[in-house]
Amino acid sequence: MAKNKGISGFPEWLPAEKKLEDAVIAKIKRIYESHGFTPIETPAVELLETLSSKGEINKEIYAVQRLAAQSDSEPELGLHFDLTVPFARYVAMHFNELVFPFKRYQLQKSWRGERPQKGRFREFYQFDVDIVSRDELPLCCDAEVVTVLAKGLLALNIGTPCLELNNRKLLLGYFSGLGLSDDIARQAISVIDKLDKIGESEAAQQIEALSVSSSARDRILEFVAPTVPLDQLASVLSQVSLNSAMAEEGAEELLTVASLIPKSVRDHIVVRFQIARGLDYYTGTIVESKITEFPEFGSVGSGGRYEDLVSKYLSKNVPGVGISIGLTRLMDLIIREKLLPLPQLSSARVLVTVLNEEVRKEAEEFAEALRVDGVSCEVFFRSPKLGKQIDYADKKGIPFVVFLDAENSVKNIQTGEQVSFTDLASLKRIVCTEDLQ
Domain-embedded: residue 321: no
- The answer to whether 147 and 262 have CB atoms below 8 angstroms apart is yes
Domain-embedded: residue 364: yes
pLDDT at 156: 97
Q: How many domains does the chain have?
A: 1
Domain-embedded: residue 383: yes
Domain-embedded: residue 429: yes
Q: What's 356's domain CATH number?
A: 3.40.50.800
How many C-beta atoms lie closer than 10 Å to residue 417's C-beta?
A: 11
Question: Could you tell me which residue, 194 or 106, shows the higher pLDDT?
Answer: 106
In this prediction the pTM is: 0.90
pLDDT at 278: 60
- Between the CA of residue 358 and those of 378, 383, 384, 404, what are the distances in Å? 18, 10, 13, 12
Domain-embedded: residue 139: no
Q: How confident is the model at residue 81 (pLDDT cuts 50, 70, 90)?
A: very high
Lowest mean pLDDT among 123-132, 303-312, 397-406: 303-312
Lowest mean pLDDT among 136-145, 209-218, 326-335: 209-218
pLDDT at 145: 98
- Between the CA of residue 374 and those of 284, 327, 400, what are the distances in Å? 50, 31, 15
pLDDT at 56: 47
> What is the mean pLDDT of the segment spanning 142-160?
98
Percent of the chain whose predicted confidence (pLDDT) is above 70: 96
pLDDT tens-digit series, residues 174-222: 998 888 888 888 888 888 888 888 888 888 888 888 888 888 888 989 9
**225/204 Cα distance (integer angstroms):** 13
- Say yes or no to pLDDT of 281 above 50: yes
> What is the mean pLDDT of the segment spanning 408-429?
93
> What is the mean pLDDT of the segment spanning 86-115?
95
pLDDT at 196: 83
- Between the CA of residue 90 and those of 42, 46, 50, 246, 293, what are the distances in Å? 7, 11, 11, 32, 38
pLDDT at 7: 86
Domain-embedded: residue 409: yes
Q: Mean pLDDT over all residues of the chain?
A: 91
> What is the mean pLDDT of the segment spanning 13-17?
95
Structural domain boundaries enclosing 403? 350-433
Lowest mean pLDDT among 49-53, 231-235, 291-295, 390-394: 49-53
Q: Which helix (H) or strand (E) is 282 found in, with range?
A: none
**207/210 Cα distance (integer angstroms):** 5
- Say yes or no to pLDDT of 437 above 60: no
* Residue 7 burial (10 A CB sphere; 0-12, 13-18, 19+): exposed
pLDDT at 31: 98
Domain-embedded: residue 357: yes
Domain-embedded: residue 361: yes
pLDDT at 399: 95
pLDDT at 115: 85
> What is the mean pLDDT of the segment spanning 5-11?
87
> What is the mean pLDDT of the segment spanning 134-144?
96
> What is the mean pLDDT of the segment spanning 269-291?
89
Q: How confident is the model at residue 2 (pLDDT cuts 50, 70, 90)?
A: low
Look up residue 117 and give its DSSP letter: B
- Say yes or no to pLDDT of 334 above 70: yes
> What is the mean pLDDT of the segment spanning 75-87?
92
- Say yes or no to pLDDT of 433 above 90: no
pLDDT at 436: 45
Phi, psi of 241 (to 5 degrees): -80, 100
- The answer to whether 398 and 386 have CB atoms below 8 angstroms apart is no
- Say yes or no to pLDDT of 55 above 50: no
Q: How confident is the model at residue 54 (pLDDT cuts 50, 70, 90)?
A: very low
> What is the mean pLDDT of the segment spanning 321-348?
95
